[in-house]
Amino acid sequence: MILRYPATAADYQKLARRKLPRFLADYLDGGAGEELTLSANNKGWQAIPLRQRVMIDVDRVDTSTTLAGQPSDMPVALAPLGLAGMMATRGEVQAMRAATAHNLPFTLSTVGICSLAEVNQATPSACWFQLYMLRDREFVKALLEQAWQDGCKTLIFTVDLPLPGPRHRDTRNGLNSAGARSLALKAQQLITRPGWLWHVAKNGKPLTFGNLSNALPAATDLDAFKHWIDTQFDASATWRDIEWLRHLWPGALILKGILDADDARAAVNAGADGLVVSNHGGRQLDGVAATALKLPEIVAAVGHQTTVLVDGGIRSGIDVFRALALGAEGVMVGRPWAWALAAGGQAALTHMLASWQQELKLAMSLTGVTRIADIGPEHLDFIEPQTV
């Protein structure tokens, strides 16, 4: 059955799986290990009931807010996704345009396909830039200078990837191995997806990482990419490096990958302006708790001092509402934006974001709240996050 009118994130996921070669769809969908955390993330939000209230004047419901000081139409930012540019022609440019159409921040990954300059030229606004700590600190400095010059005001600094988690789907698809057999497997998957090949051919370049062109030459396979990550990602980084970063970066500094209240306090002490409660979408340590479960204690620890965002398993405007009710100021959304992009490019993503805004508006209307700032735990029914 062809889904002509996708309605939910799951619909876009189905469409994406039909368009992308399997190794790429699996790279996007997969998590670490047995994918326990991946599935706990989704269920975590779904298990939180909303408290319906009626006969309250909700004629004017306003979903707009500010995220890291930036006005947005709703409290949603697009999370950084490495290789997302491969989901469609100049993928990150299309995503930036869709995000800007809704006045939402788009975050470009360190390992994005398009460069900062290309993404920032796509619209009048600038993206958020995500960075990992790399061993080559001069290179880190150069990237930060580049981002600042290109107009980025917010740095998302990811702290939960000292080394990559084991993604078994990638292993099974030969993504973690070089050689003829893995190439043959990928080629077999590619010939079943001529439409995607055409998109990528239109990119006009082999696999290039826009911001890393000096450090990571264009690759024909993902092996060079994987090798670069293994050698460059700095597992020795500590809070001192965050202080170093704080001095270097003049804009907002948001640490992504905090899952513990003590770490949240340390982030604030190191000078962060905000944090993202995240387990990397279940792609790092399988077995850690769902973000919905951890959010309340982190909000209790630092919510009065700093901006708290959350991601992982947010799949609708109603999930956005749930996250806000548990104390987040906003959410980041990962896989769903790439699903929409793969399914139908910028237009599909714009459409998905519009329906999320509608869902958020409905959730606000039927819980009796008209402003984002007024959403709180009183709008949830029976909150016992421990049971999530």
Residues of each annotated binding site for glyoxylate: 27, 132, 167, 280, 283
Find out whether 225 and 213 touch, Cβ atoms under 8 Å.
no
Task: Indicate whether 85 belongs to the interface with ligand FNR (CB under 6 A).
Answer: no
Kindly state the tokens that stand for 307: 């901006």
- Contact mark string toward ligand FNR, 175..214, x via CB under 6 A: ----------------------------------------
Report the residue number, 353 or 369, with the smaller CB distance to ligand FNR. 353
Residue 70 phi/psi, 5° resolution? Answer: -105, 125
Q: How far apart, in whole angstroms, are the C-alpha atoms of residue 16 and residue 92?
A: 16
Write the CA distances from 181 to 173, 176, 187, integer angstroms.
10, 12, 10
* Single residue of 251, 281, 327, 344 touching ligand FNR by CB under 6 A: 281
* Single residue of 186, 193, 199, 283 touching ligand FNR by CB under 6 A: 283
Residue 278 CB-half CA count within 13 A: 29
Report the first-to-last Cα separation within the chain, whole angstroms. Answer: 34
CB atoms within 10 A of CB 59: 7
CB atoms within 10 A of CB 322: 28
Find out whether 260 and 6 touch, Cβ atoms under 8 Å.
no
Q: Which of 102, 199, 227, 280 is catalytic?
A: 280
Q: Which run of H or E residues covers position 77?
A: strand 76-78
Q: What is the largest CA-CA distance in the chain?
A: 66
Find out whether 151 and 126 touch, Cβ atoms under 8 Å.
yes
- Pick out residues in 310-369 that bind ligand FNR (CB under 6 A): 311-314, 333-335
Candidates 216-224, 276-284, 356-364, 373-381; binding stretch for ligand FNR (CB under 6 A): 276-284
Shortest Å distance, C-beta 110 to ligand FNR: 6
Annotated binding site: 27, 80-82, 109, 130, 132, 158, 167, 256, 278, 280, 283, 311-315, 334-335
Amino acid letter, residue 28:
L
Annotated binding site for FMN: 80-82, 109, 130, 158, 256, 278, 311-315, 334-335
- Pick out residues in 33-52 that bind ligand FNR (CB under 6 A): 41
Find out whether 148 and 251 touch, Cβ atoms under 8 Å.
yes
* Single residue of 80, 91, 274, 385 touching ligand FNR by CB under 6 A: 80
Shortest Å distance, C-beta 162 to ligand FNR: 13
Kindly state the tokens that stand for 342: 């793969």
Find out whether 31 and 37 touch, Cβ atoms under 8 Å.
yes
Candidates 91-99, 109-117, 121-129, 198-206; binding stretch for ligand FNR (CB under 6 A): 109-117
Annotated active-site residue 280? The verdict is yes
Shortest Å distance, C-beta 335 to ligand FNR: 4
* Single residue of 15, 67, 81, 229 touching ligand FNR by CB under 6 A: 81
Which residues are catalytically annotated?
A: 280
Give the interface with ligand FNR as residue ranges (CB under 6 A).
27-28, 41, 79-82, 109-111, 130, 158, 256, 278, 280-281, 283, 311-314, 333-335
